[in-house]
Every structure is written in structure tokens, then in C-alpha cells.
Amino acid sequence: MHLKSLTVKGFKSFASATTMRLEPGITCVVGPNGSGKSNVVDAIAWVLGEQGAKALRGGKMEDVIFAGTAGRAPLGRAEVTLTIDNTDGALPIDYTEVSITRRMFRSGESEYEINGNGCRLLDIQELLSDSGIGREMHIIVGQGRLDSMLHAKPEDRRAFIEEAAGVLKHRKRKEKAIRKLDAMQVNLNRLTDLTAELR
Ligand code: ATP
């Protein structure tokens, strides 16, 4: 599995539709200060469902929409599509290529698509949860975050590793199952009491 291409339109400094093709291996984005390198990384985090404006270096979520420049009017919506090569079947979906799209309007409304079909954010999170590209976005290490990861408490560092390894999802499911079992036990105890009273 590798990221194949990224298309941004109306997202931050990318007013016109711009497609970046990514090859397997390492990709470097080079450019002067303020030219939009970090905006490329923000676009990847955003299309994968990032919900925090702060994580995207903005004050509010609408800040991701192109705000206009001296020569160009602001736009009404931002759209990002990330295409992932899935020839190895790492994502649990019957397509060799998976395109994930997120669109957002100034009203704050967001739309998501998988291969052009409308879906919920939850569907995207479920699709990616075993791939190491999780909801907590530990795959994206921002400037200065490497230090905080190295200095993290052992249990926090364990959470990073578990998320990358896809263990977190199973731990969450286990916790949910234990809660259900506990509730069931309470009902069972009550039933036993009632049966004893009726005898
Ligand atoms: P550095 O090398 O300094 O870290 P960079 O290449 O990573 O810089 P970015 O931080 O990605 O640059 O881009 C900053 C630019 O994006 C600024 O010029 C800023 O005005 C522009 N920008 C951010 N949000 C928007 C927006 N909503 N509309 C228009 N331009 C935006």
C-alpha cells in the first residue's frame, strides 16, 4: 500500500486544482518558506478525517478554505482527494486503487467519499483502521512533535505504537465487549434474585 496521488482544490494556499503524484519510496517536498509545503501535509491529515482546526494550524475549520489573495477572490469550498494504491489488499475493500475525498463548504458542512460514493467519516476511519493510518494521526509527525514523542511517558509511547500496529481498534472492541458482559452479568444477577423470590 502506498499513497499514489493527492489532489487539492480550494484548500489553504491551493486555489486551483493541483495534483501531486507520489511514487513508492521517499517523497521530498522542497520550496521557500511560506510556499505551502506544510499545507500539503495538512491536506493529507484533513482528507483522512482530522477534526481539530489546531492540528491543521488554523483557528477554526473553515480556515482550510482558500481565503483569497490580492489577485484572487476567496473560494466557497475546499476539496482534497487522496488516492491510495491497494494492489496488496492492505485496505479491506475490493479495489486495487482507493480514492478518499473530503469536501467542505463555508457553512461548515463536510462531505466524504470513497471511490466517488458518498460515505460517513466513520466508514473512512473503519477502512483505514487496520492500515496504521488511524484516527489519532500518529503517522503524521509535525515539526517539533518528534521531540514530544521521544520524551513521552511509556504508556503514551505505547499508545503511538499500538495505533501504528493496528492494535488500538481491537483494544477498543475488547473494552466494549467487557462493558456489555458486565451489564449482562448485572441483568443475570437480577434475574437470579427474581427467580429465587418467585420459588
Ligand atoms: P515553512 O517553510 O516556513 O514552514 P511552508 O512552505 O510549510 O513554510 P505553509 O505553512 O504550508 O508553508 O504555507 C503557508 C502559506 O499558506 C501562507 O502564505 C499562508 O498565507 C497560506 N495559507 C494558509 N491558509 C490559507 C488559506 N485558507 N487561504 C489562502 N492561503 C492560505
CA angle (191 as vertex; 185, 196 as ends), nearest 5: 130
Kindly indicate the confidence band of residue 137, based on its pLDDT and cuts at 50, 70 and 90: low
How many A from CA of 146 to the centre of ligand 1?
Answer: 21
- Look at residue 117 in the predicted model and tell me its pLDDT: 96
- Look at residue 129 in the predicted model and tell me its pLDDT: 80
- Look at residue 135 in the predicted model and tell me its pLDDT: 57
**Annotated binding-site members:** 32-39
Average the pLDDT over 141-149 and give the result.
76
Kindly indicate the confidence band of residue 94, based on its pLDDT and cuts at 50, 70 and 90: very high
CATH H superfamily, domain 2-135: P-loop containing nucleotide triphosphate hydrolases (3.40.50.300)
Q: How far is CA 87 from the centre of its chain?
A: 21
pTM beyond cutoff 0.90: no
How many A from CA of 22 to the centre of ligand 1?
Answer: 21
CA-64 nearest atom, ligand 1: 27
Q: Which of the residue ranges 82-86, 134-138, 143-147 would you say has the lowest mean pLDDT?
A: 134-138
Whether the Cβ atoms of residue 15 and residue 75 lie closer than 8 Å to each other: yes
Q: In what order do the strands lie in the sheet with 2-9?
A: 18-21, 2-9, 77-85, 97-105, 110-114, 117-119
Shortest-distance Cα residue to atom 17 of ligand 1 = 34
> Where are the chain's structural domains?
2-135, 167-199
Average the pLDDT over 159-176 and give the result.
79
- pLDDT at residue 161 tops 60: yes
CA-58 nearest atom, ligand 1: 24
Kindly indicate the confidence band of residue 165, based on its pLDDT and cuts at 50, 70 and 90: confident
User: What ipTM was reported for this prediction?
Assistant: 0.95
To the nearest 10°, the Cα dihedral for 126, 132, 136, 137? Answer: -120
Shortest-distance Cα residue to atom 2 of ligand 1 = 33
Q: What is the mean pLDDT of the chain?
A: 90
- Look at residue 134 in the predicted model and tell me its pLDDT: 60
Choose among 122, 134, 123: nearest CA to 98: 123
Ligand 1, CB within 6 Å, residue ranges: 12-13, 31, 33-39, 63, 65-67
pLDDT digits (tens, 9 = 90+) for 22-64: 999 999 999 999 999 999 999 999 999 888 887 788 888 899 9
Q: What DSSP character marks residue 186?
A: H
How many A from CA of 1 to the centre of ligand 1?
Answer: 29
Distances (CA, A) of 75 to 13, 16, 79, 121: 11, 10, 11, 23
CA-36 nearest atom, ligand 1: 11
d(CA 145, CA 77): 30
- Look at residue 171 in the predicted model and tell me its pLDDT: 82
Higher pLDDT, residue 23 or 137: 23
